[in-house]
A and B are shown apart, each in its own frame.
Chain A
């Protein structure tokens, strides 16, 4: 009697089975999602079947449907950590931070030590404006080595939000000492430095924020790691291939793209990516084959021609490369990289004035394109216009990153040619020190030789 009543009560409170209208999905998504949906709808109270359905929706970034199914799972399997936790992740993606915090709290009630959930709980509370609760959690997380950078960054953000910038700086400096690429911490650090009147420090921190962007210290998350493999379609393979390429695994990247094309030969972006991937492995024939295929697709022609131009330039087929860049520019006259590369080919062909013109046009399209400005500066020096060169090269003195030494060296040469010897020596010294700092020994030696002759 009791169990029947409980079952009835459960049915009464159980959220309805959430079905997703898969008919309008493309074939791969329809196939994968409809399979698990069918199984789950046949056994709507079966945790395993409904769980697979929820996680598959999650894997396809269908956050709202995934949240709906996780909600049902929380009723079917109330003691489970997994559904609460994954629901919290989905809710974060829906920007429902207060709800996400509640989900993480419930998850942690079931598995209090799961580190990724503890970090996410603290972050969700902060994003929901519940700063005091967030602070307490971050303070506890500082003792966990894997979470320490995120926890220090969190404490820094909490202090900054309260206007306690000295304390914020202390936490944030610790965070970036532990994980130098923590872009968000550099950003908050810059804001706190500014509030304290430390403007130069603020600008340096901003440059690091710009350099590292959203990079974040990864914390191993076994529960979440089991979700992504539930999606196995050509687009997922391309995404994986792009990620592998970013990590430097060219063979893996090529294999992932080829596997995607084996499933769907019409994927224009896979062909497009393979032009440069094969190019980078010197497999010209394969690269050419994928160039033809990408061209036939009729989309993204400017990048397709541009990639082909790079490919041809790598083979030192300069005339053909120039033609490819021109075709890229026909499709998109604002393609700054195609302009810059065309300028470099023209430079090789000793057409210096034309090259300078292409660099100028690259800069019209993209004024912040430092390499194009450097090239323009060099050309102007070569064309006997050192004063104009100085004006251009002055604009790329900052930021003082690994590219800066050669830019400063060019600025030094321009000054010398313009008759400003002292300025030339000053910038050459600066360039040399910076080159040494970045371990660019050959450049430093070249600058040294130049300095010796100047002095």
Chain B
């Protein structure tokens, strides 16, 4: 009997001791993703130093795997020795995940004080173009379709000297081409640099309140590779704010794409599309502009998605330490409830400053989870005196399926134990194994590639859309995935959101135990719906417009 008890005890101890495999493994260096962001810090605490930079995950060469563009900041007085932005080609098609630096050949070795990136096929030629925001004029790179890009900023008419942050491609006027929304931040200039201090009087970076917000920009795509600045005509200039994050979605459920802007320390904006080329800001009335007490928060990154599977798009916004991050739950008609407490998001984020974020189903159980890239913007007391006193750990939250979240940062693995100054985060299935990986950028630090190890426990489906010559990848379309006895999974085709970053345009859905999908419904950007029935799971399916059955709402 004693021996049996001992055996049980030993087995129990072994069971307890056996470590769970990490949910993510950091693999940047191992796969050749060799990039270090340089913020060019001068000791004068120029505000842009602490804000960048971002990344784009997009298939620039159309070979079916995700390549990585990494935005560089560098020196304020950029010279030929300044580091440049880098493009890394994913050579997965050769059999293993490996990146090759193709910056020079591709012609995207940009020397600018870069901030973020947006990816979309603005010229409808079937390949993905790149828009880069910066502290200084923004840049549009047209993809030539042969592995190279051309700087077409002047021809495109999108050069703007304001300090830009995140940007989003969106066909807001339903004319079949991608327009461009650019969030702009504040009127900081080097010559106008201000002196700011932390609570004990040490010099530190200023908050955005030290400067004035500058207006965002909306560019309408005129075709022929040209954009027109319609900011004023579209009503976007009627409200300003210190813009950092941009996300596109149909927030009031009227079938037209709206734009949500996260503004740092000023009320967020919810630009509701009025179907006539103009927008009206309903942020404050909608409840998604400020906290429940009516005060604006730091609002950096945005995740937009249907976390509670009720068919509408909810918003998650990252904030600064002492505020907690916020989840705005949508009632389906564009009225939002500040649900940070009831979803259990508030408590574990009270001591965090968050930037890049995204709803993504990391364990493929059918529910949208959350990743947050964290890093401070003002000195952390415990790190005072260290060279970079802004380091924080990133966080992972698992959706319980009951409208609450559990923090799963620790099971995330060693990749989550590292404290860095994270900023951008781009999401996509980098190794094409059916789960979502994360590229995380660090301010003045190396890029990280978090390869997902958790997705294999459940089934999944990825959907790539193709429509005619206009808006080829179906930006803005909604994809519904129907499973027997379970709520429809709704996802939007988009690359925007997060912070300064662009994510994979392919729609990904974890299916839980469902080995097949009853139907995939696509609501195209013009409102038409199509249905494809009986789709097998665990694969990428390309749905071409016109090949499904017409569907009634």
**Number of inter-chain CB pairs below 8 Å:** 135
In the complex the two chains form, what is the Cα distance from A60 to B197 in whole Å? 12
When the two chains form their complex, are residues B197 and A209 in contact, meaning their CB atoms are under 8 A apart?
Answer: no
When the two chains form their complex, are residues B335 and A194 in contact, meaning their CB atoms are under 8 A apart?
Answer: yes
Q: What 0/1 pattern do residues 10 to 42 of A give for CB contact below 8 A with B?
A: 000000000011011110110001000000000
B192 to chain A, nearest CB (A): 4
Chain B residue at minimal CB-CB distance from A300: B194
Chain A residue at minimal CB-CB distance from B340: A129
Q: Is B94 an interface residue (CB 8 A)?
A: no
Q: Is B350 an interface residue (CB 8 A)?
A: yes
For A98, the chain B residues whose CB sits under 8 A away are: 347
| Highest count of chain A CB atoms <10 Å: which of B200, B232, B238, B293 | B200
**Interface band, chain B:** 35 or more
Given A300-B194, A302-B189, A365-B187: A21 and B341 interface contact (C-beta under 8 Å): no
When the two chains form their complex, are residues A95 and B192 in contact, meaning their CB atoms are under 8 A apart?
Answer: no
When the two chains form their complex, are residues B381 and A195 in contact, meaning their CB atoms are under 8 A apart?
Answer: no
When the two chains form their complex, are residues B187 and A334 in contact, meaning their CB atoms are under 8 A apart?
Answer: yes
When the two chains form their complex, are residues A332 and B191 in contact, meaning their CB atoms are under 8 A apart?
Answer: yes
In the complex the two chains form, what is the Cα distance from A88 to B347 in whole Å? 16
In the complex the two chains form, what is the Cα distance from A65 to B384 in whole Å? 13
Q: Is B324 an interface residue (CB 8 A)?
A: yes
Given A94-B350, A300-B194: A334 and B285 interface contact (C-beta under 8 Å): no
When the two chains form their complex, are residues B381 and A367 in contact, meaning their CB atoms are under 8 A apart?
Answer: no
In the complex the two chains form, what is the Cα distance from A186 to B290 in whole Å? 13
In the complex the two chains form, what is the Cα distance from A297 to B236 in whole Å? 38
- Chain B residues numbered 151-169 whose CB sits less than 8 Å from any CB in chain A: 162
Given A209-B284, A336-B212: A367 and B238 interface contact (C-beta under 8 Å): yes
A61 to chain B, nearest CB (A): 4
B381 to chain A, nearest CB (A): 6
When the two chains form their complex, are residues B381 and A65 in contact, meaning their CB atoms are under 8 A apart?
Answer: yes
Among A64, A269, A332, which residue has its beta carbon within 8 angstroms of that of B195? Answer: A269
- Chain A residues numbered 263-313 whose CB sits less than 8 Å from any CB in chain B: 268-269, 297, 299-303
Q: Is A96 an interface residue (CB 8 A)?
A: yes
Chain A residue at minimal CB-CB distance from B236: A367
In the complex the two chains form, what is the Cα distance from A186 to B284 in whole Å? 11
In the complex the two chains form, what is the Cα distance from A44 to B237 in whole Å? 58
When the two chains form their complex, are residues B294 and A184 in contact, meaning their CB atoms are under 8 A apart?
Answer: yes
Q: Is A257 an interface residue (CB 8 A)?
A: no
Q: Is B209 an interface residue (CB 8 A)?
A: no
B274 to chain A, nearest CB (A): 15
A438 to chain B, nearest CB (A): 24
Given A95-B350, A334-B162: A194 and B285 interface contact (C-beta under 8 Å): yes
Q: Is B385 an interface residue (CB 8 A)?
A: yes
Tell me how many residues of A have a C-beta within 8 Å of chain B.
Answer: 65
When the two chains form their complex, are residues B191 and A331 in contact, meaning their CB atoms are under 8 A apart?
Answer: yes
Q: Is B43 an interface residue (CB 8 A)?
A: no
Q: Is A190 an interface residue (CB 8 A)?
A: yes
For B346, the chain A residues whose CB sits under 8 A away are: 95, 97
In the complex the two chains form, what is the Cα distance from A340 to B362 in whole Å? 52
In the complex the two chains form, what is the Cα distance from A440 to B455 in whole Å? 68
Q: What 0/1 pattern do residues 256 to 279 of B give for CB contact below 8 A with A?
A: 000000000000000000000000
When the two chains form their complex, are residues A233 and B232 in contact, meaning their CB atoms are under 8 A apart?
Answer: no
Given A60-B200, A299-B195, A300-B195: A365 and B294 interface contact (C-beta under 8 Å): no
Closest 8 CB pairs between A and B?
Answer: A187-B294, A24-B385, A367-B237, A129-B341, A302-B192, A61-B199, A331-B191, A29-B200
Residues of A within 8 A of B (CB): 20-21, 23-26, 28-29, 33, 60-65, 93-98, 127-129, 157, 161, 183-184, 186-188, 190-191, 194-195, 202-203, 206, 209, 213-214, 233-235, 268-269, 297, 299-303, 330-336, 364-368, 395
Can you list 30 A-B pairs, Cβ within 8 angstroms, ordered by A? A24-B202, A24-B384, A24-B385, A25-B384, A29-B200, A60-B199, A61-B199, A62-B200, A65-B381, A95-B324, A95-B346, A96-B350, A97-B346, A98-B347, A161-B292, A184-B293, A184-B294, A188-B292, A190-B284, A190-B285, A191-B285, A194-B335, A299-B194, A300-B192, A300-B195, A332-B191, A334-B214, A367-B215, A367-B238, A368-B237
Residues of B within 8 A of A (CB): 162, 187, 189, 191-195, 197, 199-202, 212-215, 232, 237-240, 284-285, 287, 290, 292-295, 322-324, 335, 341-342, 346-347, 350-351, 381, 384-385
Besides A203-B285, A299-B195, 15 new A-B residue pairs in contact (Cβ under 8 A), listed by A number? A23-B385, A24-B384, A29-B202, A62-B199, A95-B323, A95-B350, A190-B284, A191-B287, A209-B294, A299-B194, A331-B191, A334-B187, A365-B187, A367-B240, A368-B239
